[in-house]
Amino acid sequence: MKTNLRYLLCCIFLLITAVSQAQVDSLARHADSAGTRPDSVIRHQVAIFVPLYLDSAFDASNNYRYDKSFPKFINPGLEFYEGAQLALDSLEKEHVLLDVQIYDTRSPTQSVAQVLQNPAFQNTELIIGHVVPGELQQLAAAAAHLNIPFINVNFPNDGGITNNPDFVILNSTLRTHCEGIYKFMQRNYATKPILLFRKKGVQEDHLQQYFMDIQKTTASVPLKVKFITLEENFSAATLVPYLDSNTQTICVAGSLDENFARNLCQDLASLNKTYTTSVVGMPTWDNIDFTGSLYSGEEIIYSTPFYTNPGDNLVKEIQQVFKTKFYSRPSDMVFRGYETTYRFAKLLLQYGKGLSGSIGEKKYKVFNDFDIEPVLNRQTMTLDYFENKKLYFVKKMDGQITGVY
């Protein structure tokens, strides 16, 4: 663990230099040194916005502020950067020519707004961002102004953005997950009783409304979904009256609350010797540890737009890099950083600044089969943005993956 921390700190020190210069030129080094890059060759401009918290982690003398600890809030951005850098290394081996600017969105000395106003930024041809809502709107507006794609890699929401065909959501929205879950149940459980358990809450109201809207507009035979609101202190006994010992019951968790998810799965697992159930959950379940005796024998299914196949050769290579250098395992954000940087950089190289019109092409797959489709405004029937509609359904039992669909 200490070695891992020391290595990560070294990474951050290196990042300070890279980000302060706001320039990563590594992709041109090979061609330059080999004398194979003529001066007239265009090097496409890419901007990556990521929360690195460099100024928060170090004081004015570059002393690390957190002693021997490593705060969790730094992890997602750093891990995304690590994945992006591995992708840049892979592209370098292919003699790809890019200028990549890395911007720390948590820098107190250079805000996102200041970056976007910089004349040098006006040459950018592709924006990749690990963002929060305020940054989402700023980067989407900049992309629309420059008519270049903005790839939102993490935030599963449109942020109120409309009429912006340069805005791309990779982490599918909640409505898309509900649509995908409904179709998944139509394909696999159309004749089974389906119960949607929820708790009280505004977000839960939205979820229920999504399912009700989908039920009204489906082109196939509608499912017979029963909506049940549970109190905060519900127990296994609360669920029994809704279950049938003679058939399998499909139980949908209509809440993003992880504690609700754990309680529901544990209670259903405690009943599964009498009542056969399968639990269908939300995309947030990817972060929940369903191992342990409390979940024994319960089939748990959830949707995700990002699935990393452990048998994939590139996945194994990245895992080996982290094992050797970081003494740890790469997180999902590492793979997302690699995939988005590599895939969309390759598309940029093929199509140049006119990339927006080809953003949905299914080329240069890395880990996932993205299905980037236009999303139309329901009132005006005009294009609001593009969104990844491809979902994977992961089935687990006793903590082990038993199927991916």
**What residues contact residue 268 under an 8 Å CB cut-off, 6+ apart?**
236, 239, 251, 275, 277, 279, 298
- 328 and 239 in a single domain? The answer is no
- With bands split at pLDDT 50, 70 and 90, how would you rate the model's confidence at 28? very low
Task: Check: CB of residue 372 under 8 Å from CB of residue 387.
Answer: yes
- With bands split at pLDDT 50, 70 and 90, how would you rate the model's confidence at 2? very low
Q: Tell me the three state secondary structure of residue 301.
A: strand
Burial 203-237 (b: 16+ CB within 10 A, else e): ebeebbebbeebeeeeeeeebebeebebeeebebe
Question: What is the mean predicted confidence (pLDDT) over 359-387?
Answer: 93
Structure-token pair, residue 70: 């490593």
What's the pLDDT score for residue 126?
97
Q: Where does residue 336 fall: left (phi above 0), alpha (psi -120 to 50 degrees), or beta otherwise?
A: alpha
Q: Which residues pair with 101 in a beta bridge?
A: 47
- 224 and 264 in a single domain? The answer is yes
What's the pLDDT score for residue 120?
93
Residue 287 has pLDDT above 60, yes or no: yes
- 30 and 123 in a single domain? The answer is yes
Residue for token digits 């990042």? 15
Query: For the segment 161-217, what is each residue's pLDDT rounded down to a tens digit?
Result: 999 999 999 999 999 999 999 999 999 999 999 999 999 999 999 999 999 999 999
- Asked, for residue 280, whether it belongs to a domain, the answer is yes
- Asked, for residue 185, whether it belongs to a domain, the answer is yes
Could you tell me what percent of the chain has a pLDDT over 70? 86
Query: For the segment 340-360, what is each residue's pLDDT rounded down to a tens digit?
Result: 999 999 999 999 887 888 999
Total number of domains constituting the chain: 2
Lowest mean pLDDT among 24-28, 63-67, 332-336: 24-28
Question: What is the mean predicted confidence (pLDDT) over 378-386?
Answer: 89
* CATH code: domain of residue 240: 3.40.50.2300
Give the residue among 171, 183, 252, 152 at the shortest CA–CA distance from 405: 183
- Asked, for residue 378, whether it belongs to a domain, the answer is no
**Looking at per-residue confidence, does 16 or 259 come out higher?**
259
Number of H helices, E strands in the chain: 12, 14
- Asked, for residue 260, whether it belongs to a domain, the answer is yes
Residue 147 has pLDDT above 90, yes or no: yes
What's the pLDDT score for residue 25?
42
Residue for token digits 């997950």? 177
- 399 and 275 in a single domain? The answer is yes
Query: For the segment 59-107, what is each residue's pLDDT rounded down to a tens digit?
Result: 666 666 666 666 778 888 999 999 999 999 999 999 998 999 999 999 9
- 196 and 89 in a single domain? The answer is no
Residue 31 has pLDDT above 90, yes or no: no
pTM, rounded to two decimals: 0.88
What's the pLDDT score for residue 22?
37
- 30 and 162 in a single domain? The answer is yes
Residue 37 has pLDDT above 60, yes or no: no
- Asked, for residue 48, whether it belongs to a domain, the answer is yes
Lowest mean pLDDT among 165-169, 322-326, 389-393: 322-326
Structure-token pair, residue 381: 């029937």
- 233 and 245 in a single domain? The answer is yes
- 116 and 235 in a single domain? The answer is no
- Asked, for residue 385, whether it belongs to a domain, the answer is no
DSSP state letter for 223 = P
- Asked, for residue 380, whether it belongs to a domain, the answer is no
What's the pLDDT score for residue 29?
36
What's the pLDDT score for residue 60?
66
Q: In which domain, by residue range, is 167 found?
A: 2-172+310-370
- 22 and 150 in a single domain? The answer is yes
Q: Tell me the three state secondary structure of residue 13.
A: helix
- 95 and 39 in a single domain? The answer is yes
Distances from the Cα of 82 to the Cα of 138, 250, 335, 336, angstroms: 24, 40, 9, 10
Helix H or strand E encompassing 375: strand 372-376
- 83 and 136 in a single domain? The answer is yes
Question: What is the mean predicted confidence (pLDDT) over 40-69?
Answer: 76
- Asked, for residue 388, whether it belongs to a domain, the answer is no
- 168 and 179 in a single domain? The answer is no
Question: Strand order in 392-397's β-sheet?
Answer: 225-230, 194-199, 249-253, 277-281, 299-304, 392-397, 400-404
